[in-house]
Structure 1
Amino acid sequence: MQNTHVPLPRKNPKELGISASSVIGFLESLKARQIETHSFMLLRNGQVAAEGWWNPYAPELPHMLFSLSKSFTSTAIGMAVHEGILTLDDPVISFFPEELPEEISDHLAAMQIRHLLMMGTGHDQDTMDALHSAEDGNWVKAFLNEPVVHEPGTHFLYNTGATYMLSAILQKATGQNLLEFLGPRLFEPLGTQHPTWETCPRGIHTGGFGLNVTTEDIAKFGQLYLQKGMWQDKRLIEESWIIEATSKQISNGDGGDSDWAQGYGYQFWQCRHHAYRGDGAFGQFCIVLPEQDAVIAMTSGTNDLQGVLNCVWDHLLDAFLPDSLAGEEEIEQEKRLSDYLKSLRLDPPHHNGESVREDEISGVTYMLDTNEFGIESLRLDFQADEALLTIRNSKKEEKLRLGRQRWLPGQSDAFNREDGRAASSFTWISADEVLITIQGIETPFRLNEHIVLKDGAIELKQNINVSFGPTESEPIVGKAL
């Protein structure tokens, strides 16, 4: 099947019975909560009612999904089950006889594919640290050697290593990795072009993270689930699987106001208001609202994931009306929404356009003290309306153009993505401090580099907007060469 991108159909919000003022209220509430949003698509009845990208993010760019990848891995397992390749009752250990520990505990022996899917493996901590620490790069063996404390199926623990094992099982059973397996079955029918997926050291897709697709691809995926597996009059996923995967399979809390305590399906979270979702770190969302016949796809750079969902429930639930809307007021609000969406942007930092010390450091190479990032030297060359940043480490030299208080497009390895797309700028916070900002526009990440001028030296301080670890680094001293 030829993979041709066919965009989702578009309609005005009022034609789909969506209140434009409620959508504006939703976007304003995200802004008020200081939730940094990068893209947003709202679908109803299978058609796009509203969409926006915060420049320099753009519709054609893929985005890191993080744990939203898990829902795609679950889909692959569902397809394999209905093709008779796997069953949910298959023991995990049956696929890897050569990787088993010397002693197989009763709990490990009882672990089935369904337990991996529902995050009920019986572990008492996420296994990913053990997988990453495996010196031989054998993540399967590392997983199977972790103690299984609880009886599988009785204890929920969010366990990204479990999703990796789903990927490894699929590859062992089919001889195909996730991308190869899902290509003709999911990605090509949906028109998803050039999806990529990270791999473990042994070439197995990571499963629980690492998929990169566009926001519209996320929206299509959600719409496919909303349509119970049908796409353009063809069945891609069995309806029975959709129902099972998106229903509560295990308890993960006592409900309440938390959307992380409503129950868990097969790599899908249960939500309040009878919705369900796939989600990923820092605000990557695919939210399906069956009662409203709606899908919300979002990418973000925030740690306030519950805040995003609260904004959805507070503003968008009331936006869906049973019939199309009419009247002068609604036409005016729709025009306002259209203008609002066109104006979305992330502004680079603005302080001072220049410094009296700019000529003093322009073209000077600074050798840096040994540091955790492996940066050996840096240099800034200033021009009229931009600067060139040159960074050297032990492996390569990277050059990055910086706009003077404006974004310039480029490519950077700053976010562990070789030649990843970025937008970069600089501004002077004071005469002695320049701020360099690098926005990874395929990622949620924004790196700020503060360079403070000393006598014949510099001090480099870095911070990042969101991270799994510390967001600020220790200062690094550099001396003029």
Structure 2
Amino acid sequence: MPALLPRSTPTAAGVSARSIVELLDRLEAESVECHSIMVVRRGHVVAEGWWAPYSAERPHLLYSLTKSFTSIAVGLAIADGLLALDDRLVDVLPDHVPDDVSEQGRRITVHHLLSMTAGHAEDSLEQAWQLEPGDLVKGFLRTPFAAPEGTQHTYDNSTTFILARMVERVTGRDLRELLDERIFQPMGIDHAEWDRVASGAAFGFHGLHLTTEAVAAFGELLLRGGLWHDRQLVPREWVELATSRHIETLQLADGSLDADSTAGYGYQFWMSRDGYRGYGSFEQLCMVYPEQDLVVAVTAGDGPSGATPNAVRECLLPGLDDAGSTRDDEILADRLRQLSFAPVPGSAAPERSVKARLDGSAADSPLPDGTTVTVDPVGGGWRLRLGPLDFEVGHGEWRESSPLGRPVIATGAWQDDTFVAELFVITTPHRVRLAVEAGTAVATWNTVPLTGPNLVLHVQSPLMTRPDVS
């Protein structure tokens, strides 16, 4: 896979390698489960690492970081003269307007959707879907408004879903096709994958899978005002508008670490004290620091909200323009090469097989109660059957299989009388831990996917579901 960005050393780009080591230490101390990190300074990658079995060539689910890409699609439609910020939803999608639409519903514009200021009291997604199971746009308009449009920011997934449908209506192009033709292909990104709603349409607010380098390159595209090499892929005016503060945001009620939560919201971008960022659940991040000529891309499995941006601000930013030494570069490079999850410890016991029934009584079980589980030794590892799913499991190593199209990488071992396996749904933040003992198996997610716990759904490619991601 050809590189999207040139490489350099931290020292050559005016970055202290020690500050990046400090950043890695802080993320570990803050219990951020990193899957990858890429630091780009002055247009060059100065540090990059993947925690095995995650790797450079694999795309990773971005969750709501997808919203920032949808914002760019809106900007393209506006630049083409096909859409305007003051265009009303009811005029662009008239066939999705309920007969009893409110006066406020009639006034909702592209600007309100982009800035998430339609006026709902909370994310409308669940209620909209309940009101109109076959039409999320209509359900959005039927969900009662609590504040006048344009006056209050409420994080609302439905707004981005609607924007995606509006872009498709005015351009006559699928959102995926539009971004592929206008952004991804010109940048050299040929591996964008999209999860979809049941109709086959892209979520818009979620579901894009990209490699870490593609996320970092997107940050560079924004940092350069939409210019990629010698091509203006996105109008500079739109990049500046989308990444500017349009509405204040409220302090997070959970008292989390995110000191940027009140920095404001742009057009599907979060503002920060030092720049702006695209953000997805479980710490999928594209952080852009214009004054520092810096982009940091992170994929992860979970972490305290705000821990990663805070760590970048407190560890990495002070190390800019304080280059350190080439010896520091070597120490960092060695650290990055060794990043890894540990294979499951224990013995191979090549003569042992086991058969069990899954106890799926706990909430969010990956598989139904009573699912048959069998483990048979094969070639120094195991063949694991979970109901309709067949996986290869390595001992002291990672083995890959794709029972329904999406790759799963697994490692396992016997620990006394218990067989334990870790199943990484490797293009997502999620993995399943399985323990089999005395005829009973228990399976649990590290973090439950926001599209639901059903493992069968998440190993299908593409994932297709109703738009119920929160």
TM-score (normalised: structure 1): 0.87
2:462 — aligned with what? none
In structure 2, the residue matched to 1:271 is: 272
Give the superposition deviation at 1:147: 1.7
**Superposed, which structure 2 residues align to 1:142-161 within 5 Å?**
142-161=139-158
Which residue of the other structure, out of 182, 202, 206, is the alignment partner of 1:205? 202
| CA distance in 2 between partners of 1:468 and 1:52 (Å) | 24
Q: SS of 1:67's equivalent? A: helix
CA distance in 1, matches of 2:71, 2:92: 18
Cα distance, 1:86–1:135 mapped onto 2, change above 3 Å: closer
Pick from 331, 337, 344: which aligns with 1:342? 337
Superposition deviation, residue 149 in structure 1 = 2.4
Does residue 24 of the first structure (1) align with residue 28 of the second (2)? no
What is the CA distance between 1:365 and its match in structure 2? Answer: 4.4
Q: How does 1:440-451 map to 2 (within 5 A)?
A: 440-451=425-436
Aligned counterparts of 1:409 and 1:311: Cα–Cα separation in 2: 33
Partner Cα distance (2:116, 2:185) in 1: 29
Secondary structure of residue in 2 paired with 1:15: coil
**Candidates 409, 419, 422, aligned match of 2:408:** 422
What is the Cα deviation at residue 135 of structure 1?
A: 6.9
Q: State the partner residue of 1:9.
A: 6
- Please identify, of 60-69 and 381-390, the stretch whose mean Cα deviation from structure 2 is larger: 381-390
CA displacement, residues 182-222 of structure 1 (integer Å, 9 cap, x when unaligned)? 12211111111131222222332210001111111101100
Q: Which has the higher mean CA deviation after the structures are superposed, 83-92 or 193-202?
A: 193-202
Instruction: Classify 1:124/1:34 alpha carbon distance in 2 versus 1 (closer, same or farther; 3 Å).
Output: same
Report the alpha carbon displacement of residue 348 of structure 1 after superposing the two structures with TM: 2.1
How much is the aligned-residue C-alpha RMSD, in angstroms? 2.4
**1:259 and 1:429, CA in 2 relative to 1: closer, same or farther beyond 3 A?**
farther
Q: Partners of 1:366 and 1:434 in 2: how far apart?
A: 11
**Partner residue of 1:415?**
none
SS at match of 1:17: coil
Contact 2:348 2:380 in 1 (8 A): no
Q: CA deviation at 1:310?
A: 1.6
Instruction: Tell me whether 1:226 sits opposite 2:223 in the alignment.
Output: yes
Higher deviation after alignment, 247-256 or 153-162: 247-256
Q: 1:284 to 1:254 in 2, by over 3 A?
A: closer
Which of 430, 436, 441 is 1:460 aligned to? Answer: 441
For the structure 1 residues 369 and 314, does the alpha-carbon distance in structure 2 shift closer, same or farther, using more than 3 Å as the test? closer
**How far apart are residue 470 of structure 1 and its match?**
12
- Report if the CA contact (8 A) 1:427-1:436 is conserved: yes
User: Of residues 137, 155, 159 in structure 2, which corresponds to 1:140?
Assistant: 137
- The answer to whether the 8 Å contact 1:287/1:295 transfers is yes
Contact 1:137 1:200 in 2 (8 A): no
Q: 1:259-303 CA distances to partner (integer Å, 9 max, x unpaired)?
A: 22210000000112x210001010110000011101001100113
Corresponding position of 2:297? 297
Separation (CA, whole Å) in 2 of partners of 1:470 and 1:287: 25
Q: 1:471 to 1:143 in 2, by over 3 A?
A: closer
Query: What amino acid is the match of 1:286?
Result: C
Gaps of 5+ in 1: 413-417, 474-481
Counterpart contact for 1:462–1:472, Cα < 8 Å:
no
Say whether 1:386 aligns with 2:386: no
Partners of 1:139 and 1:200 within 8 A in 2: no
* Residue 58 of structure 2 is aligned to residue 52 of structure 1: no
**3-state SS of 2:214 partner:** helix
SS in 2 for 1:451: strand
Match of 2:391 among 392, 396, 400: 400
Q: Whose radius of gyration is greater, 1 or 2?
A: 1
Aligned residues: 445
CA contact (8 A) 1:438 1:448 kept: yes
Question: 2:249 is matched with which residue?
Answer: 252
Structure 2: tracts of 5 or more residues without a match: 455-470
Distance change >3 Å, CA 244–CA 5, structure 1 → 2:
same
Residue 254 to residue 346, structure 1, CA distance change in 2 (3 Å) = closer
The one-character-per-residue Cα deviations of 1:435-477 (angstroms, maximum 9, x if unpaired) are 1111122111121112221xxxx2222222222679999xxxx
Residues 103-155 of structure 1: CA distance to partner in whole angstroms, max 9, x if unpaired?
Answer: 22121011101111001111112122135547753222222222222211111
2:180 aligns with 183
- Pick aligned residue for 1:66 from 52, 59, 63: 63
1:313 and 2:313 equivalent? yes
**CA distance in 2: counterparts of 1:472 and 1:238, whole angstroms:** 40
Q: Distance in 1 between matches of 2:447 and 2:133?
A: 30
The equivalent residue for 1:477 is: none
Contact 2:358 2:442 (8 Å CA) reproduced: no
